[in-house]
């Protein structure tokens, strides 16, 4: 059996591919250590709520932010997130 070899990963190229300008602005907001909901980010950044929500989900899936609480709002549930240790380390 041949020894397995790991291919060298160009992390800089990978990071650039993931660095959407809106996602970077959202990460910057979370870097303050405060809690934000997608609606709060939408209001603060002025970008469409759907776009903000998409990038928040991507950051959540990547483990860079974590859900801290939910609150009922007009028949819906608002989700609040904060930076995870992985983002702040």
Residues 6 or more apart whose CB falls under 8 angstroms from that of 67 comprise 60, 79, 80, 81
Task: Calculate mean pLDDT across residues 30-36.
Answer: 93
pLDDT of 72 > 70? The answer is: yes
| DSSP assigned state of 33 | S
Q: Does 61 score more than 90 pLDDT?
A: no
pLDDT of residue 34: 95
Are 85 and 33 in contact by the 8 Å Cβ rule? The answer is no
Question: How much is the average pLDDT of 31-49?
Answer: 96
Residue 9 is predicted with a pLDDT of 61
Distances, alpha carbon 82 to alpha carbons 2, 3, 8, 53, in Å: 45, 42, 32, 14
What pTM was computed for the model? 0.80
Go through the domains of the chain in sequence order and give each one's CATH number.
20-88 (1.10.10.10)
Alpha carbons 38 and 44: distance in angstroms, whole number:
10
Q: Point out the least confidently predicted range of 9-13, 32-36, 56-60, 79-83.
A: 9-13
Q: What is the CA radius of gyration of the chain?
A: 16
């Amino acid at each position: 059996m041949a020894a397995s070899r790991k291919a060298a990963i160009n992390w800089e190229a990978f990071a650039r591919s993931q660095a959407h300008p809106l996602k970077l602005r959202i990460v910057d907001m979370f870097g303050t250590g405060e809690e934000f909901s997608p609606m709060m980010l939408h209001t603060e950044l002025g970008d469409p709520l759907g776009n903000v929500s998409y990038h928040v989900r991507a950051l959540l899936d990547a483990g860079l932010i974590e859900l801290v609480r939910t609150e009922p709002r007009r028949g819906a549930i608002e989700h609040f997130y904060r930076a995870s240790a992985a983002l702040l380390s």
